[in-house]
Amino acid sequence: MVMVASQAELSRERQVSVAKDMPEAGAARPAPRVVVGVDGSAAADEALAWAVEEARMRGAVLEIVHANFFRRELLQAFPGFAKGERVILARAMARAKALAPTVEVVGRLCEPPPAEALAKESEGASLLVVGSRGLHGFEELAKGSVSNYCVHYADCPVLVVRAPAGLEGSRRRVGAATR
C-alpha cells in the first residue's frame, strides 16, 4: 500500500511515505490466493468450480475453507461428526484437483460460524468465492446469510455464485455413520 502526502506536504517535503507492508523493489511477492467456502451444498459446488477457474487464470493458490457445522467440543465428543466435516473438505479438494490438476490446493477446517470464518480467511486474498442458496425473507433472517456477511465484511472482493436452477437450498448428505 502506498500512502501519498497531500499536495501541501509534497511541496514542503518533496517525498512520499511508503507503508511498511510494501515489498521492496525486486522482492518476492506472496502468491495470490483465491479462497472458497464449501459446505457440501449445490451452491458451494458451483462456487468451487468458479474458484478453481479463477485460481487457474490468476496463477493463484486455491484455499478451500469448510467451517465446521459444530464446535470443536462437540466434534471431540462425537467422532462421527468430525469425520463428516473432514469428508466435506476432502471431497471438495479432490474435485478441485480433478478440475485443474495444475492449481495448488490447500484445505482448511475452521470453527463456526462460517460467515466469520470466511471473512477472516479472506484477509490478504485476491478473491473470496461463496455460494448462495437463494434464501429469502424469514428463512434468510432466521438462518443468516453467509454470502451477505462476506460481501460486507470480507477483506477482498467477493464473488457470490448461485446454485443451478432447481437446486437452491439443497444439501448433499455426507455420511458419517458409526456402528
Q: What is the pLDDT of residues 79-122, one digit of tens each?
A: 666 677 889 999 999 999 999 999 999 999 888 888 999 999 99
- Whether residue 174 lies inside any domain: the answer is no
Burial pattern 98-119, b for ≥16 Cβ within 10 A else e, equals ebbeebebebebbeebbbbbbb
Q: Higher confidence at residue 46 or residue 9?
A: 46
Contacts of 7 (CB under 8 A, 6+ apart): none
Distance (Å, whole) CA 66 – CA 33 = 16
pTM above 0.85, yes or no: no
- Whether residue 25 lies inside any domain: the answer is no
Please give the tally of structural domains in the chain.
1
- Whether residue 27 lies inside any domain: the answer is no
- Whether residue 84 lies inside any domain: the answer is yes
- Whether residue 82 lies inside any domain: the answer is yes
Distance (Å, whole) CA 26 – CA 35 = 27
- Apex CA 118: angle with CA 1 and CA 34, to 5°? 60
| pLDDT score recorded for residue 73 | 67
- Whether residue 177 lies inside any domain: the answer is no
- Whether residue 40 lies inside any domain: the answer is yes
Q: For residue 112, give the CATH number of its domain.
A: 3.40.50.620
Residue 63's pLDDT band, with cuts at 50, 70 and 90, is: very high
Q: What is the pLDDT of residues 127-137, one digit of tens each?
A: 999 998 755 55
- Whether residue 13 lies inside any domain: the answer is no
Q: Higher confidence at residue 96 or residue 7?
A: 96
The domain in which residue 91 lies consists of: 33-162
| pLDDT score recorded for residue 33 | 95
Question: Exposed, middle or buried, 77 (CB in 10 Å: 0-12/13-18/19+)?
Answer: exposed
